[in-house]
Chains A and B, each alone.
Chain A
Amino acid sequence: MRITVTVDGTNYTDEVEPRTLLVHYLRERIGKVGTVVGCDTSNCGACTVHLDGHSVKSCSVLAVQADGSEVTTVEGLSRDGQLHPVQKAFHENHALQCGFCTPGMIMQSIDLLADNPDPDEQAVREGLEGNLCRCTGYQNIVRAVRDAAQHMSPGAGPDAERITETKHVGVGGD
């Protein structure tokens, strides 16, 4: 099937097998290897990307379902050479060790902050429940997300990813 997808601001048109998962399309067809696969049951969240502005686990979305959509991966977050505030906060707060869960964590955190710009600790923990990390014990991730929230107030930081106003209830969301 032929699909046209915008990924990190670039348009791609490709023939894909109907069974191709979005994550495999991103990694294997267009080389967006920043998004990784950590499990085969949609539990770990390592493959989280944004589909039309909202986080999805890209292992539970078919590539054909993304036809006509905009996908943002961790590779498309920085603007004009500046890190996204959430990326910066992960670095500043030592919110990663091996870094394998990090792309998914960052993408999920951005969506979480779009829903709730000033979450308390519990809200962050609940918002990240679908993303597993084995290295950090989550504490510094929680700290990073709350820290990022302080830097994502209007006008702060580089162009934070624009989030659409209505929550998209779509394919494969978690």
Chain B
Amino acid sequence: MTATIEPEVGKSRRRKEDERLITGRTRWTDNITLPGMLHMAVLRSPFAHAKIVSIDTSAAKNAPGVVAVFTATDLDPDSSIGMPCAWPITPDMKAPRRPVLAADQVNFAGEGVAVVVARSSAEAHDALEEIDVEYDELPVILDMEAAIADGAPLVHEDQGSNTSAVWKFDSAEAGTGSNVEDAISSSEIVVKRRFRQQRLIPAFMEPRACVVDPTGAQTTMWSATQVPHILRVMAALTLGIPEHKLRVIAPDVGGGFGGKIGVLPEEMMSLLVAQKLGKPVKWNESRSETMLAAHHGRDQIQDITISANADGTVTGLKVELLANLGAYNGLVGTGVPILGAFMFNAIYKFPAYHFACTNVYTTTTLTDAYRGAGRPEATFAIERIMDELADELGMDPLELREKNWIKHEEFPFTTVCGLTYDSGNYEAATEKAKQLFDYDGLRAEQERRRASKDKVQLGLGISTFTEMCGLAPSRVLGSLDYGAGGWEHAAIRMLPTGKVEVITGASAHGQGHETAWSQIVADQLGVAFEDIEVIHGDTQSSHKGMDTYGSRSLVVGGIAVVKAAEKVVAKAKPIAAHLLECAEEDLEFAGGKFTVKGTDTSTTMGDVALAVFAAHNLPDGVEPSLDSDATFDPENFSYPHGTHLCAAEVDTETGRVKLRSYVCVDDVGVAVNPLIVEGQVHGGLAQGIAQALFEGTVHDESGTLTTGTFADYLLPSAVDLPSFTTDRTETPSTTNPLGAKGVGEAGTIASTPAVVNAVIDAVRQFGVNDIEMPLTPMRVWHAIRYGTTDAGGPGNEAGGGLGSIDATGGAL
């Protein structure tokens, strides 16, 4: 009677989201226009560090169209509002207040000092020019090592130091391994390197924006945010708005990559201004403002020491980091290095590990989560040092990895960093990648090019990676002093006609939740894919959640959806039995139908929903509802992994790097939608490759960001990237019922070291064993020409032109 229903999970479904996006009917925050709406613009400090002597707003107040002008004292007379930090990583971590608007002092170029509210955005921006601010400049602090040296000028005088906090993990103390100093002193080979994680800009395509409407019973706020639920809580805690009086909506959001995790001063300004004026207010930033004042990512100096035996067996790893926080603590930026701390062993097993991180304040834009958040930094360091170790040992870098990685049969495996990896098969992914890449053939070609002294040399780069994905386990996050849990919520509403609304707390910004969640629910309830609507991004309809970051949506939020669906079936079953006049135990549920075992008597989920709606004939004591909700908090992270191989051609006369091929085999567990997985990998690769070759902020010596537009900050375009060969192996996660592992950050994490390893492999013959990222032609050429391994050298064309100064890395 019924055809076998093909499972939806595993299908490359085209996305439900696309229709509105390809026809221009998307609801971006900036599209929202309300009657009587005013526009807010922010005056930003041109100085990186200065006392504010005076602000004269009188001319601006009289400018055409201006309704109001606010400074810090107008907006926050009691100086009581400070932007939130959710991650006090140590009990003594410094907590300098970040005011909504700077009152007495600015601490980075771009910090807001006043706001203008006018009838139009153009008038608001015009009036900014009329505000006269007198500044008294203070010393600029850009270099992390200089910042923590004795006698250094301080970003925040009252904090007494530019060291925010020092956080350590030691395997001997934690009981996960032995003492690293013993390992280093007793090993046959020790390799030390300093790596630099340059500062990056997330550069989501939709600039930040928010609209606040204070005119209803609830204040409604639309924001281009990744975290509407967290934003509501934080706004309530920060501004004292009763939480139930605030509704936050993240409509369609044009990308985030961690860059829209922050709870923003501008969002708080908009709320305050709108409430003071009693009118709707829109704030819409320019790209230049985004580059300057939305948070940045990465920015670490990594001192890495690895020890090994002569046969290549790694014996210990010591990591000392300096992490640049910028001028203030971000929402979670203080903890980003800690997320990395647990990933430094990567896919390897070794007996001793020590990690120490110093978080440093400088007079720069604050840093916070950026795609991968801590894990790309860690993966880069371990994958680079493994190549350096292989070189010292005269081993093939792939062979060194194979010697040290966790074998398939050794899972679950507790690492020296203290995580328990549930499943993985590094052998299978690597073998598949090698075949697709033609590893042996390319090695042979490399030899030929070296022998013939070809001006274009070939390098092969390897990155075998894993990550902790699905940022969730609330108890683990609590043990790390993170201020919130990591659970996720879902609800399912069975509509009378058998259609389904799925409500998820994981608010999407391009990841395709509407499609993937529909696939999951279609299988769980036996309802057609098209009959399911997924609702997210509104604290009123999607009433509970932790939002989307850290590749957590599917492996936490998706599982909450499964759990909610299971509850729907459980609620429907006694009702179905009642309707079919049989015992509940005699029913089986499959493909959307409750069938009396051994018969063809059945009723559908839709029939039950209609019967519940009518409620004329329900079992005694049963509520007339199939609606269900669930909250899922996993016991463990998930651990996707993969092998990425890159072939780079380096023109030794110009330093130009061309990626000839890029192959990756990722294992993300069960792929709910392989098409979406592939797309996420592609995008991740582009971002990781961009870190290796193109992107990096540059400040001049006054602290001005000279890479403050898309004309200066080199976001790769289509011509800058190759086509990728992507494939998968599938080792299901054992810690969730879908077997999924998460994919959002994998490409970014794995690709940066793969590309850099490839370039170094091509030029190592010239005595080069490090080039600072991004590997611009000038830097590569300089390294070839001078065999240099440090950052000293001529100018960097990636940034502000010849002779520019990298704020955080010294002279380029």
Contacts and interface: CB of A to CB of B under 8 A. Distances in A.
B718 A128 contact: yes
Nearest to B206: A100
A35 to B, nearest CB: 7
B675 interface: yes
B589 to A, nearest CB: 33
Interface in A12-41: 17, 19, 27, 32-41
A123 B24 CA distance: 26
Contacts of A141: 718
A7 interface: no
A19 B120 CA distance: 14
User: Most chain-A Cβ atoms within 10 A of its Cβ — which of B17, B205, B257, B287?
Assistant: B205
Given A97-B512, A130-B717, A142-B718, A102 B22 contact: yes
User: Most chain-B Cβ atoms within 10 A of its Cβ — which of A77, A87, A102, A137?
Assistant: A137
B28 A129 contact: no
B24 A33 contact: yes
Contact of B682 (A17, A99, A126, A136): A136
B569 to A, nearest CB: 31
A91 B287 CA distance: 27
Interface string B704-742: 000001110001011101011000000000000000000
Contacts of A133: 205, 718
A103 B510 contact: no
Nearest to A86: B22
Contact of A38 (B257, B287, B718, B724): B287
Interface stretch (B160-168, B247-255, B361-369, B419-427): B247-255
Contacts of B22: 74, 83, 87, 90-91, 96, 99, 102, 106
| Chain B interface category by residue count | 35 or more
Given A94-B676, A98-B255, A142 B723 contact: yes
User: Most chain-B Cβ atoms within 10 A of its Cβ — which of A35, A37, A98?
Assistant: A98
Nearest to A136: B683
A141 B711 CA distance: 22
Interface in B14-69: 14-15, 17-26, 28, 30-31
Given A124-B718, A134-B204, A135-B255, A99 B678 contact: no
B132 to A, nearest CB: 24
Nearest to A33: B31
A96 B21 contact: yes
A38 B207 contact: yes
B25 A137 contact: no
Nearest to B26: A99
A129 B21 contact: no
A46 interface: yes
B24 A34 contact: yes
Given A124-B718, A128-B717, A135-B510, A40 B287 contact: yes
Contact of A43 (B286, B680, B709): B709
Contact of A39 (B255, B683, B709): B709
B685 interface: yes
Contacts of B684: 137
A78 B206 CA distance: 24
B534 to A, nearest CB: 16
Contacts of A38: 205-207, 287
Contacts of A94: 14-15, 675-676, 678-679
Contact of B718 (A87, A100, A138): A138
Contacts of A92: 14
A115 interface: no
A134 B721 contact: no
Nearest to A36: B28
A7 B744 CA distance: 38
Contact of B24 (A91, A103, A122): A103
B508 to A, nearest CB: 9
A40 B122 CA distance: 14
A73 interface: yes
Contacts of B287: 38-41, 44
Given A40-B287, A98-B510, A137 B721 contact: yes
Given A34-B26, A36-B30, A98-B204, A134 B257 contact: yes
B107 interface: no
A121 B676 CA distance: 22
Given A99-B18, A121-B723, A124-B718, A137 B26 contact: no
Given A90-B18, A98-B510, A132 B23 contact: no
Contacts of B20: 99
A100 B203 CA distance: 12
Nearest to B710: A43
B25 A129 contact: no
Interface string B123-148: 00000000000000000000000000
Nearest to B15: A94
A41 B710 contact: yes
Contact of A134 (B511, B683, B724): B683
Contact of B679 (A41, A130, A136): A136
B679 A132 contact: no
A139 interface: yes
A102 B21 contact: yes
A139 B682 contact: yes
A65 interface: no
Contact of B686 (A19, A34, A44, A138): A138
Interface string B665-696: 00000000001101110111111000000000
B206 A129 contact: no
A99 B252 contact: yes
A68 B253 CA distance: 35
A117 to B, nearest CB: 19
A112 to B, nearest CB: 11
Contacts of A78: 23
Nearest to B724: A139
Contacts of A152: none
Contacts of A122: 719
A106 B683 CA distance: 18
Contacts of B31: 27, 33
Contacts of B384: none
A92 to B, nearest CB: 6
Given A128-B717, A131-B718, 13 more contacts: A32-B24, A34-B26, A38-B207, A39-B286, A87-B23, A94-B679, A97-B680, A97-B683, A121-B723, A125-B718, A132-B205, A135-B510, A139-B721
Interface of A: 17, 19, 27, 32-41, 43-44, 46, 73-75, 77-78, 83, 87, 90-92, 94, 96-103, 106, 121-122, 124-126, 128-142
24 contacts: A19-B122, A27-B31, A36-B30, A38-B205, A40-B286, A41-B710, A43-B711, A44-B287, A94-B15, A96-B18, A98-B205, A99-B18, A99-B20, A99-B21, A99-B22, A126-B718, A126-B719, A128-B718, A131-B718, A132-B715, A132-B717, A139-B723, A140-B679, A140-B682
